[in-house]
């Protein structure tokens, strides 16, 4: 059985190969620029979806919007506060 990647196959910095042709760097750079601008404008913190408290700094100090909060999410401010407090009581 052949491994998925052969040790002699360059992956990370290859500019061109027989399978894919030349990398369109202009396209990739433009896509990164657009995504970065959208991300800055979005300012939405999705960390609260994973952890009750780990992202409180992002939400409370850095001014990011909480993805759990309506209209982005389904929770109200009161539900989020109750959920966060429940983690503090559990400790």
pLDDT in tens, 4-26: 555 555 455 555 556 656 678 88
Q: Rounded CA gap, 63 and 40, in Å?
A: 12
What does pTM read for this prediction? 0.52
**Structure token digits, residue 15:** 């500019």
Residue 6 is assigned to a structural domain of this protein: no
Segment among 39-43, 65-69, 71-75, 82-86 with least mean pLDDT:
39-43
Domain ranges, residue 53: 44-91
Per cent of the chain over pLDDT 90 is 33
Residue 12 is assigned to a structural domain of this protein: no
pLDDT in tens, 26-48: 888 888 888 776 665 678 899 99
Residue 55 is assigned to a structural domain of this protein: yes
Residue 52 is assigned to a structural domain of this protein: yes
Residue 8 is assigned to a structural domain of this protein: no
How many domains does one find in the chain? 1
- Compute φ and ψ for 4, nearest 5 degrees: -60, -35
Checking if the pLDDT of 65 tops 50, the result is yes
């Amino acid at each position: 059985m052949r491994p998925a990647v052969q040790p002699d196959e360059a992956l990370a910095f290859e500019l061109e190969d027989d399978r894919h042709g030349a990398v369109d760097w202009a396209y990739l750079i433009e896509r990164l620029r657009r995504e970065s601008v959208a991300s800055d404008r979005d300012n939405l913190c999705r960390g609260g979806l994973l952890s009750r408290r780990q992202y409180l700094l992002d939400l409370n100090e850095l001014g990011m919007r909480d993805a759990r909060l309506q209209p982005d999410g389904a929770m109200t401010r009161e539900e989020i506060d109750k959920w966060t407090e429940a983690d503090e009581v559990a400790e």
